[in-house]
Amino acid sequence: MIRINENYQKLQSSYLFSTISKKVQDFQKSHPEASIIRLGIGDVTRALSPTVIRAFHEGVDELSQDATFRGYGPEQGYAFLREKIAQVDFIDQGCSLDPEEVFVSDGAKCDTGNFQELFAPDIRIAVPDPVYPVYVDTNVMAGRTGSFVKGRYEGLIYLESTKENRYVPSPEQLDSTPVDLIYLCFPNNPTGATATKEELAAWVKYAQKHQALILFDSAYVQFIRDPAIPRSIFEIPGARDVAVEFRSFSKTAGFTGTRAAYTVIPKECVISGENGKTYSLHSLWNRRQTTKFNGVSYPVQKAAAAVYSPDGQKEIRELSDYYLENARLIRLTMTDLGYSSTGGDNSPYIWVETGKDSWEFFDSLLEKTGIVTTPGAGFGTCGEGYIRISAFNHRDKVEEALVRIRNNLGPNKK
């Protein structure tokens, strides 16, 4: 008899964004005349840039001739892309990196979700709260948690990220029993917060002391403007021994539908097995990827490599500047209306303190203005009382949304 993986029963019935989408559909049905503006899900709205599109087309054209056709590529990604990533994203920024330490993939969602497969079922895991839900749900599916009780899974350690710690958790929050795996994400989804070098260094020190591993998600690195904010965990001395970094072309270059990302695993990084033996994390992930993944399509990798040309770099800077200007406008309006918020300066997300239940605020904003945000509670218990506003939309839509918000919420009608 075929039976299910019972761990799936522990998952919350629907993924946050499916719930939102259902609410939006219901709203549209009952208000057919309403024009809905989506500032909820973090999906980009602007087209791929000209240099990227040109390379994408060239890649497709190459596939049309036997002489330049390519079938299966290397599972780890083509060398032409891995070399560019290593050079521009790391070496030019002062971090040493071997292109072989870069694993190209079709998404940071898959990579951050799949990575836990490499670890024992009984490791202790720390996740931020609020959190990008993929880190949590994939560990639930793998059986590393108990049931969901009062908004949290038993067995996981939640790193509370609140106004008091500027939404940056610290190892001091942990009790004396060490954790083995730590998920960190900066600039953060959903709070938009960034961590300083000292804050990241504290985590690296913790991981070194306890032989733990940090999974550092920097999917939003492209939005960092403050030169003092670290762009990579590998800027922290010692991090190469204890950290893996995930990056994505999704928000960096508008690839949410095109799909390209990468994971960096330093060769120094080792994890323990039974009998005190140590194993190279790089080799383990290589083994995993070569078994379960067959690479990203050639034209997509060509397009991703074009991001690193001088024109490509200029164009993606312009794209992120555009969204950051949206973010600035959103934050300004919310501040004017008396709402305290964070993010939006080195991040495309603005985390707004609503002063009420976050689903209630979400529902009321949708009902009154037709604007879709994301209720903070959907990201964890510490998200209660907040909404996340995304800056990913066209300027005219953002401006229209802000007019509606001003008309309906101001002066601060909490």
User: Least distance in Å: CB of 268 to ligand PLP?
Assistant: 24
Q: Which stretch binds ligand PLP (CB under 6 A): 47-55, 104-112, 286-294, 324-332?
A: 104-112
> Residue 187 and residue 346: Cα distance in Å, rounded?
7
Contacts with ligand PLP in 213-232 (CB under 6 A)?
A: 217, 219
Q: For ligand PLP, which is the closer residue by CB, 247 or 331?
A: 247
| Residue 159 near ligand PLP by CB under 6 A | no
Helix, coil or strand: residue 54:
helix
Q: Residue 248, SS3?
A: strand
Asked if 47 and 38 count as a contact pair (C-beta separation under 8 A), the reply is no
Interface with ligand PLP, residue 115, by CB under 6 A: no
Residue closer to ligand PLP by CB (options 109, 152) is 109
The nearer residue to ligand PLP, 17 or 322, going by C-beta atoms, is 17
Binding mask 247-266 for ligand PLP (x = CB under 6 A): -x-x-----x----x-----
Q: Is residue 233 involved in binding ligand PLP (CB under 6 A)?
A: no
Residue nearest to ligand PLP (CB): 107
CB neighbours of residue 150 within 10 Å: 6
Rounded to 5 degrees, what angle do the CA atoms 219, 305, 322 make? 50
Task: For ligand PLP, give the closer residue by CB, 109 or 144.
Answer: 109
Q: Look at strands 102-105 and 261-264 and give their pairing.
A: antiparallel
Binding flag, residue 185, ligand PLP (CB under 6 A) = yes
The least CB distance from residue 16 to ligand PLP, in Å, is: 11
Does 133 sit near ligand PLP (CB under 6 A)?
A: no
- Could you write out the three-class secondary structure of 204-226? HHHHHHHCCEEEEECCCHHHCCC
Q: How many other β-carbons are positioned within 10 Å of the β-carbon of residue 143?
A: 14
Q: Which is nearer to ligand PLP, 183 or 270 (CB)?
A: 183
In whole angstroms, the minimum distance from the beta carbon of 394 to ligand PLP comes to 19
Region 320-379 residues binding ligand PLP, contact defined as CB under 6 A? none
DSSP one-letter string for 3-19? ---GGGGGS-SS-HHHH
Backbone φ and ψ of 233, nearest 5°: -65, -25
- Who contacts 198 (Cβ-Cβ below 8 Å, separation ≥6)? none
Residue ranges binding ligand PLP (CB under 6 A): 42, 107-109, 112, 132, 185, 189, 217, 219, 248, 250, 256, 261
